[in-house]
Amino acid sequence: MRLKGRRAIVTGGASGIGRAIAEKFAAEGAAVAICDLNVTAAKALAAELTAKGHRACGVACDVAKTESAKKAVTEAVAALGGLDILVNNAGIETTGSVTTATDEDWERQIAVNLNGVFRVSRFAIPEIIKSGGGAVVNMSSVGGLVAVKEFSAYGASKAGVIQLTRSMAADYAENNIRVNCICPAAVQTPLLDRACDRLKGHGAPEEIRKLYASFTLLKRVGTAEEIANCALFLASDESSFVTGHALVADGGFSCQ
């Protein structure tokens, strides 16, 4: 078990990529706090994992709000008995260019996707330091590396996550904390389903899904488990000499 004895927080952990990460970490021996805006779903997943013999808890968390982030970390650390790993996975996605996106669209994506990483890390990193070090995994996107039409706010927020990851890696290396991020392309999750529904004016959802797949060299979208495997690598000792890195898991999208 690659994470035996470790204690992890996963934000946005109740569904999609976050859920896959929580399940993967638990299977590898970690005690997991599933922090999510949907606390009912977070507690339900924690109950499922507990029934399988794992240690898990569900915690309410709105990463866009400082007090909620602080309370969630405090509650998670109390339940787990400490903290070794943080996965900043919570994120949202809306479409629009700088002339079509609203102020609310822009501010909400920055608040969740970028500021949320800052907020949760602010409270979690001191706890990881108390444990003698550990790992932080931030969820960025291939949209933070390359330009995608109609994704201005999302792309800006995810590009910010990449640079914040590098800064955090530099700041906390002396505390034995490695900080990396993952840059996925489209992954089959509820978030992708919602994106396809929003774009249905441009075609049927299944056709839009095929379009996303066509952008990659592998001609398919990714799976949540594939991204969870990346997170496991970055959180485990297998990546002990890796920090400040953006791991691109995009099926070849960005190399074309």
The secondary structure of 215-246 as a DSSP string is TSTTSS-EEHHHHHHHHHHHHSGGGTT--S-E
Determine the pLDDT at residue 94. 87
Contact yes or no for 208/199 (Cβ under 8 A): yes
Q: Torsion over CA of 87, 92, 93 and 97, rounded to 10 degrees?
A: -100
Q: What are the structure tokens assigned to 163, written together? A: 């640079």
Determine the pLDDT at residue 196. 57
Number of folded domains in the chain?
1
pTM, entire model: 0.94
Do the domain assignments include residue 46?
yes
Q: What does each of the 256 residues of the chain score in pLDDT, given as a tens digit?
A: 999 999 999 999 999 999 999 999 999 999 999 999 999 999 999 999 999 999 999 999 999 999 999 999 999 999 999 999 999 999 998 889 999 999 999 999 999 999 999 999 999 999 999 999 999 999 999 999 999 888 999 999 999 999 999 999 999 999 999 999 999 998 987 766 666 566 555 555 666 677 778 889 999 999 999 999 999 999 999 999 999 999 999 999 999 8
Domain that holds residue 46: 7-185+223-248
Do the domain assignments include residue 207?
no
Do the domain assignments include residue 1?
no
**β-pairing verdict for 31-36 and 56-60:** parallel
Determine the pLDDT at residue 205. 60
Cβ neighbours, 10 Å, residue 252: 13
Do the domain assignments include residue 155?
yes
Do the domain assignments include residue 71?
yes
Per 3-state DSSP, the chain is made up of helix, strand and coil in percentages (nearest 5) of 55, 15, 30
Phi, psi of 48 (to 5 degrees): -60, -45
Do the domain assignments include residue 196?
no
CA dist., res. 227 & res. 4, Å (int): 20
Determine the pLDDT at residue 215. 84
Contact yes or no for 3/22 (Cβ under 8 A): no
Do the domain assignments include residue 217?
no
Does residue 154 carry a catalytic annotation? yes
Read off the pLDDT of residues 59-118 as tens digits, 9 standing for 90 and up: 999 999 999 999 999 999 999 999 999 999 999 988 899 999 999 999 999 999 999 999
CA dist., res. 185 & res. 70, Å (int): 30
Determine the pLDDT at residue 191. 66
Which DSSP helix (H) or strand (E) runs through 36? strand 31-36
Do the domain assignments include residue 37?
yes
Look up the CATH number of the domain holding residue 31. Answer: 3.40.50.720
Catalytic residue of the set 106, 151, 154, 212:
154
Determine the pLDDT at residue 185. 92
